[in-house]
Amino acid sequence: MYIYLTCLRRNSIALMLVSEKSSITLHKTLTTSFACSTIALLDSDTFIVGTINHQHPVRTVSVQGQEGDIRHNLLPNQIYNKHKSSCTYVPCTKTVVFSDRGQDTVYMCDITSGEGRVIKTDKIHKPLRACAGPAGTVFVCSRATHSIVQLSHQGDVLMTNDVGMILPFAISLSRDGTRMAVSNSVGGQFMIKLFMVSS
């Protein structure tokens, strides 16, 4: 099994190999022409990455190191600094989910058609990291409301959950979709919590 890490200071992506005994070794390093903030697997050979200080906020990088852009008519034409935006990918709906922290906005963009939806709701303030949920849904960290918001594929709010921590920052779902890990980014109060996900 592989895991993938972005290295902000070195403009690179590290491909790490996890053995059956859970030891982790560096398999390969990809050097990029831009700093990467977030990473998600598009397919077996390509990543979707969020960029920092680049004219395209979302790009693709192949395991061979080739860089490209996604098809879209929706995402902002704007340069984002560190921790000001985030993206992830929902494979079953072929949707890039992009969070604009400063505008309290989440974009959901179908990379096949290039079309999508813009989500602004009073349930989401200062959104940042997101992850794919069950059945094409998306979980988004709403930092200013200290909660996780679940969105449908159409962008409707399905539910909000207070996660009992200040400023949730990152979120991830287990492979079987039954557990969700959430972490925050508060000096002196850093924590990671694990939640069960009901179907």
Could you list the residue range(s) of the whole structural domain that residue 57 is in?
Answer: 1-69
What pLDDT sits at residue 140? Answer: 97
Span 89-97, average pLDDT: 95
Span 21-47, average pLDDT: 90
Same domain, 124 and 195: yes
What pLDDT sits at residue 44? Answer: 87
CA atoms of 51 and 196, how far apart (whole Å): 31
Same domain, 83 and 158: yes
pLDDT band at 28 (very low <50, low <70, confident <90, very high): confident
- State how far the alpha carbon of 75 is from the alpha carbons of 46, 51, 86, 117, in Å: 20, 13, 12, 10
pLDDT digits (tens, 9 = 90+) for 41-81: 999 899 999 999 999 999 999 999 999 998 887 888 899 99
Q: How far is CA 17 from the centre of its chain?
A: 21
Q: What is the DSSP letter of 91?
A: G
**DSSP bridge partners of 179:** 196
Q: Domain ends where: 46, 69, 92? A: 69
Q: Domain ends where: 11, 35, 69? A: 69
Is 147 within 8 Å of 162 (Cβ atoms)?
yes
CATH code at position 123: 2.120.10.30
Same domain, 86 and 163: yes
Which has the minimum average pLDDT: 12-26, 134-148, 171-185?
12-26
Q: Identify which of 134, 168, 122, 172 has the alpha carbon closest to the alpha carbon of residue 148.
A: 168
What pLDDT sits at residue 160? Answer: 95
pLDDT digits (tens, 9 = 90+) for 117-169: 999 999 999 999 999 999 999 999 999 999 999 999 999 999 999 999 999 99
Q: Domain ends where: 44, 69, 94? A: 69
Same domain, 170 and 112: yes
Q: What is the pTM (predicted TM-score) of this model?
A: 0.90
Q: Which two tokens stand for residue 75?
A: 């995402």
Same domain, 9 and 49: yes
Bridging pattern class, strands 179-184 and 192-196: antiparallel
Same domain, 27 and 106: no
